[in-house]
Chain A
């Protein structure tokens, strides 16, 4: 270190250049500063490790990128989901009978899970949707019970899309003769009250209704046996 007095005669630049240190301008604690520097100098392995991690992550991303591109170009992933759908199919009239034969229908047993609707003569049942024109006769209509059908629904592979696409299950409609509408009821010709047989409904096992006023085993009793196909 040069003494200030020694360089006093030199030019100001050289004075400044040769000024090694000032008492108040030296490093406070050289050892601490050196420790800091030493730690930084020997940090390399950790940094290298981090660099390797980054490299691995980048490689992983690069590897996954073509797959992602392929996936996005094919559009959303669609899953085939087999959905159980219940549909009612109206069956062709099982029997066409005349008014005179109202109470003399064959004792053919009603197939299980069938609803039999009775309409009077000249009843025209028109379903706007199906456009079914029934013949001018007393008919026994059998509606087949709910038939399960497998419907394949294509649903995108996302939770949101899934919830959006899957239709809510609808309750199956229960159709009674009284619900066919006023027009149909007005056009229908029902048997007069005096002609109505008296019924006594007996509840057996929630499914069967029988007419006990008729002799047991008679045709009419068999005919009026109704088994409710399903519960609501």
Chain B
């Protein structure tokens, strides 16, 4: 069934259409939530909160294509995740005076599969992970990230730098393991 039709019916209050949309989009959105919130149970709760808001505000949404709908839903999920993290007070990050710019070798990441990239990202500490996700994956600026998380731009930059540094180490370790595995 077409998503546009499902959205129209869901707007009119059709439970079946709402369930179908949930079934279609929930796994993808859970992946988004899991990138921000490591704990699986928490991520599932956030997913339900996000879908609740999605269905509640669906009547105000002007459907302009599947990508727009998914983008809007993704944005809702990210906001829910950030709200959850803010409630847990995980953004008490101390800013470093000097921000060391580390060149990030994206080539190393490109060689990895989607699952490996996902696994590496969720292994980052919460502050690094959040800033990395918002900057590198969602494409936000440091100013936007700073206002969303209630931190300074410098803190956002330093968190990203540290995240990249840690990712490099993890990728290097992964490469070594890969070479070892190949040798064996």
A residues within 8 Å of B by Cβ? 4, 7-8, 11-13, 15-22, 25-28, 30, 33-34, 36-38, 40-41
Contact = CB atoms under 8 A, between A and B. Distances in A.
B137 A16 contact: yes
B48 A12 contact: no
B47 A27 contact: yes
A19 B26 CA distance: 13
A38 B63 CA distance: 22
Interface of B: 15, 18-19, 22-23, 26-28, 30-31, 34-35, 44, 47-48, 51-52, 55-56, 106, 109-110, 112-115, 117-118, 121, 136-137
Contact of A25 (B31, B109, B137): B31
B114 A7 contact: yes
A123 to B, nearest CB: 94
A176 B121 CA distance: 106
Most chain B beta-carbon contacts within 10 A, residue among A22, A25, A36 = A25
Q: Which applies to chain B's interface (DSSP): helix, strand, loop or mixed?
A: helix
B113 A26 contact: no
B22 A37 contact: yes
Contact of B30 (A7, A17, A21, A34): A21
Contact of A41 (B18, B112, B113): B18
Nearest to A2: B114
Contact of B118 (A19, A27, A30, A34): A19
24 contacts: A4-B113, A4-B114, A12-B112, A13-B136, A16-B35, A16-B114, A16-B117, A16-B118, A17-B137, A18-B114, A19-B31, A19-B115, A21-B27, A21-B28, A21-B30, A25-B31, A30-B23, A30-B26, A33-B22, A33-B26, A33-B48, A34-B19, A37-B55, A41-B18
B30 A27 contact: yes
A25 B117 contact: no
A19 B137 CA distance: 13
Contacts of B55: 37, 41
Contact of A15 (B15, B117, B136): B117
Contact of A22 (B48, B51, B112, B115): B115
B180 to A, nearest CB: 22
A114 B55 CA distance: 96
Contacts of B22: 30, 33-34, 37
